[in-house]
Homo-oligomer: A and B are copies of this chain.
Amino acid sequence: MQSKGSTDPEYMIKGKIRTIPNYPKPGISFRDITPLLKDAMAFNLAIDALAEKISEKDFDYIAGIEARGFIIGSALSYKLRKGFIPIRKKGKLPYEKIGIDYELEYGKETLEVHKDAAEKGSKVLIVDDLLATGGTAKAAAQLITKIGAKVYGYAFVVELSSLDGRKKLGEGRIIYLVAY
């Protein structure tokens, strides 16, 4: 069933992702999901399609990575009736938290999560809009492990497969809707 007819969700979703050349810097093609979010039908379809790709739903929480991961993760949490955990940039969470530094192409970034965001042993699906090199998703996974919870898997709208980010994520389940 590899048909890419006009009723295929992936085909429709890809048609709503805008490619912005040379952003954020020369040579990079940025995949902009704002036209997808704007289109009510496409946005609903994307969330439903992600939910459907998660064949087993025996996990406890969805963790969204700030900020676009909040948009996808929150709607998916609502759809699947899971609790939502915000993984935030440094200094944004108000309660007791732990952080992790990780390397980006240029310089360092920090992510944080509340210490009580998930119970020990609970299972967490990590969600972001896009999987690139995997550095951010891996840092999020390490945070989830640090608070004693388990990484159930990862879900993305877009995977940039040439960057091979999934190698960095190990053997976890990885779900995506469209690949470039």
* Residues of B with C-beta under 8 A to A114: 34
**A20 is an interface residue with CB less than 8 A from chain B:** yes
CB distance from A177 to the nearest CB of B (A): 15
The stretch that binds B, out of A39-47, A103-111, A131-139, is A39-47
Bound: A83/B32 CA distance, A = 15
Give the interface SS of chain A, mostly helix, strand, loop or mixed: mixed
Contacts of A94 in B (CB 8 A): 20, 23-24, 30, 32, 34
Does A81 sit within 8 A of B, measured CB to CB? Answer: yes
Evaluate contact between B77 and A77: CB separation under 8 angstroms. no
Q: How far is the CB of A104 from chain B (nearest CB, A)?
A: 15
**7 smallest beta-carbon distances between A and B, as pairs:** A75-B78, A70-B70, A37-B84, A38-B83, A71-B74, A40-B83, A74-B74
Q: A: which residues have CB within 8 A of B?
A: 18, 20, 23-24, 30, 32, 34, 37-41, 43-44, 47, 61, 64, 66-68, 70-72, 74-75, 77-79, 81-86, 88, 92-95, 114, 117-118
Known: A40-B81, A43-B83, A64-B71. 7 other contacts (CB 8 A): A30-B94, A34-B94, A38-B118, A40-B77, A44-B78, A47-B78, A70-B74
